[in-house]
């Protein structure tokens, strides 16, 4: 059945455009909505299977010879993601019905969205690594299409290209890592790899595999330094930002890390890489979020930092940390999804997302404001019993205090990690407050806004309201999902049976002090925000990843352009020189390396004077032809070489050759003379000494190499000639006494046929060249 769930969105995407064009009265989203809703309900029923400790595994053969099959596997971790994808998917589709105008290209929008949904389901359900990779790239492509939805806007195209380049770069690195893992373990199944963990850890390729796989996860989940695509992806329509760039796709990297942590976790390298990058991302993301002036910009950096926090917890690797990570994945999806939707509402109702222009919307949009406040307080981790964000944040603090249990390396850092966690959380608090108070409180110039703001329609408010209600319910009764959803998911990541009981009040302990410190410091910083926010202007621009990305891109394009322009000069002389230099170098190197040069005087014909004289004349003529400055002289000198050759043919007992050469040489010389009447005079070589020198070097070395090859080929004959067969059978089989002619027309007649064709083609070509004139000739 799992296959049908994944297939359903793809099928819907294929059928939907045909259905929709027939009935235009309803918004297209209503046709799409049933798909995620039905999937969500069906999958919700599978929860009972997981609670009882079972998993679901199904296989369909795809490429059995390569061990690539559509193996789908549903365990606690997949379940969490599947429910997020279909659940938030339903809400986003519902929201987009009210958000997107009928004049938009809805058909494309929903086809892309369905493609994305299907591929995301494929990512989290695949057990076969190559199927996983296939769906992984599908999500990159559909995300690219969605970001570039308003393709006429320059920023959209730029953001789409950027996200594509970065995530596909990570995807390819993931593929390399998966291939390494497959080679080590000889299986393509993730569970098979987990079973063969020992082999992977003991393999010399462990570190490269870890790095490559994690690069894939980091790029997808917008971790430092690959986070730079996410803020630019905010050019997408807001439902897309809410769905892809907060709740689902950016968590694919977290899913991958969690999925592979049974293989990698517990090693120093994994801890250092994942926790290190996660903490850097947490701190940098939350710090930079305060700098933003765009609502969605703040949310993008906030997503980056929250993802960093979850990544760091996955890096801790303890049971408590993994539980906190899983819990926070769920919580983040609820509050961040609703915040994006509220940001979309504000944009929709006021016409701007610029915080500097917004303010004082609380009385005009009370419902949106309430939703935003609850979600943002949850994001900030304000210690109230109705906010799920506080629970997971405190679990994060608890986990950060216990990392010394994990690996030896971890204990070395154990003293610093809690401080970094608090630092990141303080700024999280600041930007959360900045976000909601900046938008909804204060005076604000309502008249200056592009639109006259008023409360959004109920349909648009429904989706964020549902998410915020979830925030409160989970905040009040966290154990509602602890046994059914969180425990199986934690179990799938750590491999151990997890007993989960969440409660709001842990007594007065260090994490509580940390939370209080965050709230106090955060409040102080927020109140004084106006005084220190200008400091962001002092951050040197070369320190930004964005600038690095643009610089790298222009270095690559300009560099390759310069490189290509460097050797693709359009000069035949240079190309010939490169070809010949390579030929000479390769042949010479090979001859030298293999000791291929041979010189034997054992089987030589005697040297006779007439032949020597002819040879000498030819040599002189060939050299002289180079220096000829008169055209007739040049033709005649080259003709001397040809006639000399035909004389040599006579001496070497090749009568047919001599005859042909004589005739051909005569015609060629005649042709040259004919043509030269219409051609310019030869002009002096007038080349610089350097050019002459290079010409000389190239021609002499090529000539030398060819001579050496000729001599060694002649000196080392390994087989006797086959010509005695031709001699014996020329008359008996061919019926002719002239052996060369019998070979030409009888034994190897096919050569002759095509040689005639060549002549015919040359003749036709010449005729066309002379006759065919373009205009202006």
Partner 1 sequence: MEIVMCILAGSLFAAGIYMLLQKQLLRVILGTALLSHGAHLFILTMGKLNRGAPPVLEKAAESYTDPLPQALILTSIVISFGVTSFLLVLAYRAYQTNHTDRMDELKGLEDE
Binding positions for partner 1, 530-589, rule CB under 8 A = 570-573, 576-577, 580
Asked if 210 and 270 touch (Cβ cutoff 8 Å), the reply is yes
Asked if 222 and 275 touch (Cβ cutoff 8 Å), the reply is no
* Least distance CB 725 / partner 1 (angstroms): 10
How do 68-74 and 56-63 pair as beta strands?
A: antiparallel
* Cα angle 266, 268, 272; round to 5: 110
* Least distance CB 594 / partner 1 (angstroms): 20
Asked if 278 and 308 touch (Cβ cutoff 8 Å), the reply is yes
* Nearest in space to 433 (alpha carbons), one of 352, 513, 523: 523
* Least distance CB 653 / partner 1 (angstroms): 4
User: Between the CA of residue 481 and those of 313, 326, 329, 476, 636, what are the distances in Å?
Assistant: 20, 11, 13, 12, 98
Q: Which is nearer to partner 1, 49 or 645 (CB)?
A: 645
Q: Which is nearer to partner 1, 150 or 672 (CB)?
A: 672
Looking at 60, 547, 703, 716, which residue binds partner 1 (CB under 8 A)?
703
Considering only residues 736 through 755, tell me which ones interact with partner 1, judged by CB under 8 A: 737-740, 743-744, 748, 751-752, 755
Q: Which is nearer to partner 1, 205 or 624 (CB)?
A: 624
Considering only residues 303 through 362, tell me which ones interact with partner 1, judged by CB under 8 A: none
- Beta-carbon count within 10 A of 738 CB: 13
687 binds partner 1 (CB under 8 A): yes
Q: Which is nearer to partner 1, 102 or 687 (CB)?
A: 687
* Least distance CB 752 / partner 1 (angstroms): 7
Considering only residues 474 through 513, tell me which ones interact with partner 1, judged by CB under 8 A: none
591 binds partner 1 (CB under 8 A): no
**Using CA atoms in the order 215, 217, 219, 225, what is the torsion angle rounded to 10 degrees?**
-60
User: Which H, E and C letters describe 237-298, residue by residue?
Assistant: CHHHHHHHHHHCHHHHHHHHHHHHHHHHCCCHHHHHHHHHHHHHHHHHHHHHHCCCCEHHHH
Q: Which is nearer to partner 1, 256 or 647 (CB)?
A: 647
* Least distance CB 739 / partner 1 (angstroms): 4
Q: How many residues bind partner 1 (CB under 8 A)?
A: 96
* Least distance CB 580 / partner 1 (angstroms): 6
* Least distance CB 600 / partner 1 (angstroms): 10
Q: Which stretch binds partner 1 (CB under 8 A): 112-120, 483-491, 505-513, 708-716?
A: 708-716
Q: Which is nearer to partner 1, 268 or 656 (CB)?
A: 656
* DSSP conformational letter for 227: T
Q: What is the DSSP string of 128-155?
A: BHHHHHHHHHHHHHHHHHHHTSSTTSHH
Return the half-sphere exposure (C-beta side, CA atoms, 13 A cut-off) of residue 629. 4
Considering only residues 602 through 621, tell me which ones interact with partner 1, judged by CB under 8 A: 603-608, 611-612, 615, 618-619
Q: Which is nearer to partner 1, 63 or 700 (CB)?
A: 700
Considering only residues 752 through 771, tell me which ones interact with partner 1, judged by CB under 8 A: 752, 755, 758-759, 761-763, 765-766, 769-770
682 binds partner 1 (CB under 8 A): yes
Q: Which stretch binds partner 1 (CB under 8 A): 337-345, 403-411, 491-499, 710-718?
A: 710-718
642 binds partner 1 (CB under 8 A): yes
Looking at 660, 693, 716, 733, which residue binds partner 1 (CB under 8 A)?
660
CB neighbour class for 37 (10 Å; exposed up to 12, middle 13-18, buried from 19) = middle
Looking at 408, 722, 735, 775, which residue binds partner 1 (CB under 8 A)?
722
Task: Tell me the backbone φ, ψ of residue 383, rounded to 5 degrees.
Answer: -75, 80
597 binds partner 1 (CB under 8 A): no
Q: Which stretch binds partner 1 (CB under 8 A): 247-255, 293-301, 589-597, 730-738?
A: 730-738
Q: Which is nearer to partner 1, 213 or 647 (CB)?
A: 647
652 binds partner 1 (CB under 8 A): yes
626 binds partner 1 (CB under 8 A): yes
632 binds partner 1 (CB under 8 A): no
Asked if 656 and 665 touch (Cβ cutoff 8 Å), the reply is no
**Using CA atoms in the order 638, 644, 646, 650, what is the torsion angle rounded to 10 degrees?**
180
CB neighbour class for 557 (10 Å; exposed up to 12, middle 13-18, buried from 19) = exposed
Q: Which residues pair with 294 in a beta bridge?
A: 354
Say how far apart CA 193 and CA 129 lie, in whole Å: 10
Q: 605: which 2 tokens?
A: 């014909």
720 binds partner 1 (CB under 8 A): no
- Beta-carbon count within 10 A of 56 CB: 16
Q: Which is nearer to partner 1, 386 or 580 (CB)?
A: 580
Looking at 655, 690, 716, 733, which residue binds partner 1 (CB under 8 A)?
655
Q: 285: which 2 tokens?
A: 């993301």
* Least distance CB 637 / partner 1 (angstroms): 9
* Least distance CB 717 / partner 1 (angstroms): 8
């Amino acid at each position: 059945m799992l296959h049908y769930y994944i297939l359903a969105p793809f099928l819907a995407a294929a059928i939907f455009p045909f259905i929709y064009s027939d009935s235009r009265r309803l918004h297209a989203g209503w046709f799409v909505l049933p798909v995620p809703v039905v999937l969500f309900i069906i999958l919700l029923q599978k929860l009972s299977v997981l609670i009882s400790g079972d998993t679901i595994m199904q296989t369909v053969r795809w490429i059995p010879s390569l061990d690539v099959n559509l193996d789908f596997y549903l365990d606690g971790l997949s379940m969490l993601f599947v429910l997020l994808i279909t659940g938030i998917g339903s809400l986003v589709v519902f929201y987009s019905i009210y958000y997107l105008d009928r004049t938009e290209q809805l058909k494309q929008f929903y086809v892309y969205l369905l493609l994305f949904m299907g591929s995301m389901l494929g990512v989290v359900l695949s057990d076969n690594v190559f199927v996983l990779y296939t769906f992984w790239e599908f999500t990159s492509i559909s995300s690219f299409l969605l970001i570039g939805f308003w393709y006429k806007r320059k920023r959209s195209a730029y953001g789409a290209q950027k996200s594509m380049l970065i995530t596909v770069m990570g995807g390819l690195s993931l593929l390399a890592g998966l291939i390494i893992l497959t080679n080590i373990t000889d299986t393509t199944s993730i569970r098979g790899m987990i079973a063969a963990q020992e082999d992977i850890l003991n393999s010399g390729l462990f570190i490269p595999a870890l790095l490559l796989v994690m690069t894939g996860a980091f790029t997808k989940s917008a971790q430092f330094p690959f986070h730079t695509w996410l803020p630019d992806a905010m050019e997408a329509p807001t439902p897309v930002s809410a769905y892809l760039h907060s709740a689902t796709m950016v968590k694919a990297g977290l899913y991958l890390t969690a999925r592979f942590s049974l293989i990698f976790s517990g090693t120093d390298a994994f801890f250092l890489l994942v926790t290190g990058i996660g903490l850097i991302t947490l701190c940098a993301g939350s710090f930079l979020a305060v700098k933003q002036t765009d609502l969605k910009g703040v949310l993008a950096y906030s997503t980056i930092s929250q993802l960093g926090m979850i990544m760091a917890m996955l890096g801790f690797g303890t049971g408590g940390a993994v539980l906190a990570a899983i819990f926070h994945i769920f919580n983040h999806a609820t509050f961040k999804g609703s915040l994006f939707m509220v940001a979309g509402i504000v944009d929709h109702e006021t016409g701007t997302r610029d915080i500097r222009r917004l303010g004082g919307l609380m009385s005009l949009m009370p419902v949106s404001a309430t939703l935003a406040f609850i979600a943002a307080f949850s994001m900030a981790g304000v210690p109230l019993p109705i906010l799920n964000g506080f629970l997971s944040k405190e679990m994060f603090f608890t986990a950060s205090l216990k990392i010394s249990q994990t690996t030896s390396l971890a204990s070395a850092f154990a003293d610093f990690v809690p401080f970094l966690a608090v630092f990141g959380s303080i700024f999280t608090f600041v930007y959360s407050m900045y976000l909601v108070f900046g938008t909804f409180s204060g005076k604000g110039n309502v008249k200056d806004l592009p639109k006259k703001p008023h409360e959004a329609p109920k349909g648009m408010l429904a989706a964020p309201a549902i998410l915020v209600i979830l925030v409160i319910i989970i905040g009040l009764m966290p154990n509602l999902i602890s046994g059914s959803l969180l425990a199986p998911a934690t179990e799938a990541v750590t491999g151990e049976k997890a007993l989960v009981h969440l409660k709001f009040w842990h007594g007065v302990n260090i994490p509580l002090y940390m939370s209080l410190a965050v709230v106090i410091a955060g409040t102080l910083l927020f109140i004084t925000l106006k005084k220190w926010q200008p400091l962001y202007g002092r951050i040197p621009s070369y320190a930004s990843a964005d600038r690095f990305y643009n610089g790298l891109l222009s270095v690559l394009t300009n560099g390759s352009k310069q490189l290509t322009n460097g050797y693709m000069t359009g000069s035949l002389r240079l190309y010939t020189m490169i070809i010949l230099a390579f030929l000479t170098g390769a042949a010479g190197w090979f001859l030298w390396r293999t000791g291929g040069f041979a010189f034997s005087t054992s089987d030589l014909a005697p040297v006779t004077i007439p032949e020597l004289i002819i040879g000498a004349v030819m040599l002189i003529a060939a050299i002289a032809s180079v220096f000829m400055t008169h055209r007739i002289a040049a033709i005649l000198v080259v003709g001397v070489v040809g006639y000399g050759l035909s004389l040599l043919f006579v001496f070497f007992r090749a009568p047919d050759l001599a005859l042909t050469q004589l005739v051909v040489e005569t015609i060629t010389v005649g042709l040259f003379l004919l043509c030269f009447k219409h051609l310019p005079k030869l002009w002096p070589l007038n080349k610089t000494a350097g050019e002459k020198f290079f010409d000389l070097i190239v021609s002499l070395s090529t000539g030398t190499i060819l001579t050496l090859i000729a001599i060694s080929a002649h000196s080392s004959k390994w087989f006797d000639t086959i010509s005695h067969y031709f001699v014996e059978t020329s008359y008996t089989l061919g019926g002719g006494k002239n052996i060369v002619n019998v070979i030409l027309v009888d034994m190897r007649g096919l050569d002759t046929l095509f040689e005639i064709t060549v002549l015919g083609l040359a003749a036709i070509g010449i005729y066309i060249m002379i006759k065919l004139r373009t205009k202006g000739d």
